[in-house]
A and B are shown apart, each in its own frame.
Chain A
Amino acid sequence: MSSVAPDPPAAHAPAKSWTVKVREAGVAALPPEKLLPDGQPTYVASWIYMFGVASIASLITIIGSGFILALKGPAWWHYTGIGHFFNSIHLWSVELFFFVMVVHLWGKYWMAAWRGGRTRVWITGAIVFLVAVPTALTGYVSQQNFDAQWISTQAKDAMNSVGAGAFFNLTNFGQMYSWHILLLPVAVVLLVSVHVLLVRKHGVVPPFELEQRKAALAATPAGNGASGGADGAGKS
């Protein structure tokens, strides 16, 4: 008598490893054409859409100049010409970062950029802004000069008044420097990365007018949605 026929291969398929599961989930959420698109919808051709990428450009400049300042140390940034230069680059890129980030926030607020399933995009952006504030504050108190002493002794009262002074001591240079060059920048970069990936996933929010036009086209039997240039920009 012949032996028992083997089970179909599918029945013995090995369980998926966590790497396969993560890969499949990642590709499903963000297929390559969404992660790195060929182009953007036509409505993105407006200056108001430029402030997000301007924020990222400023952030890259902040991190680059911050790396150099961290390598060289306070004596270098206070007492040498090139140190002053990089210190100024770091300061003014922070000023620019907040400037363009606020304009970006205003633009997205008035577009109601949380529409179309983009709630997490809006929330991560708001959290980036909130985390960027203490990142800048810890930088001001890490300068190692009288300005830093003044700011830290003024700001410590605010921390003490909300009960945070016990574990977040603005007059403790070592602690503030660690927060400034490691903990908070890592948080900002991670949050910005998630924010950008969510924008890739959901697409740039379309203007109100375009959404209404798309809805009207979809409502008519002959509507094919060919106009408006909103390809890939709607809710996904």
Chain B
Amino acid sequence: MGHLGTDVLGAVFNLNHPAHTVDWSFIHLSVANVVVIGLMFIVFFLAILLPFPGASRRRGGAS
């Protein structure tokens, strides 16, 4: 990645600080990990809810 790319990314994501964390009782998570866990939940529910292309045709219309 060239200097321009790193400069632009650096402007968007300022990493020059200690990590932000979420603390609740003994639970101590970085915000980055919380975001990933949240994304996993979202993808999990979307995978269950979204129709699969051609699924109803394969089932002969009776799902």
Contact = CB atoms under 8 A, between A and B. Distances in A.
Contacts, number: 42
B24 interface: no
B62 interface: yes
B47 A99 contact: no
Secondary structure type dominating chain B contacts: helix
A159 interface: no
A229 B1 CA distance: 50
A150 interface: no
A84 B40 contact: no
A42 B55 CA distance: 7
Secondary structure type dominating chain A contacts: helix
Contacts of A229: 58-59
Contact of A103 (B40, B50, B55): B40
Contacts of B62: 227
A48 B54 CA distance: 15
B39 interface: yes
Interface in A32-57: 42, 45-48, 50-51
Interface in B41-59: 43-44, 46-48, 50, 52, 54-55, 58-59
Nearest to B57: A45
A106 interface: yes
Interface of B: 1, 36, 39-40, 43-44, 46-48, 50, 52, 54-55, 58-59, 62
28 contacts: A42-B55, A42-B58, A42-B59, A45-B52, A45-B55, A45-B58, A46-B47, A46-B48, A46-B52, A46-B55, A47-B47, A47-B48, A47-B50, A48-B44, A48-B47, A48-B48, A51-B47, A81-B1, A99-B36, A99-B39, A99-B40, A99-B43, A103-B40, A103-B43, A103-B47, A106-B44, A107-B44, A227-B62
Q: Which 9 A-B pairs have the closest CB atoms?
A: A47-B47, A45-B55, A48-B47, A45-B52, A42-B58, A42-B59, A45-B58, A103-B44, A46-B52
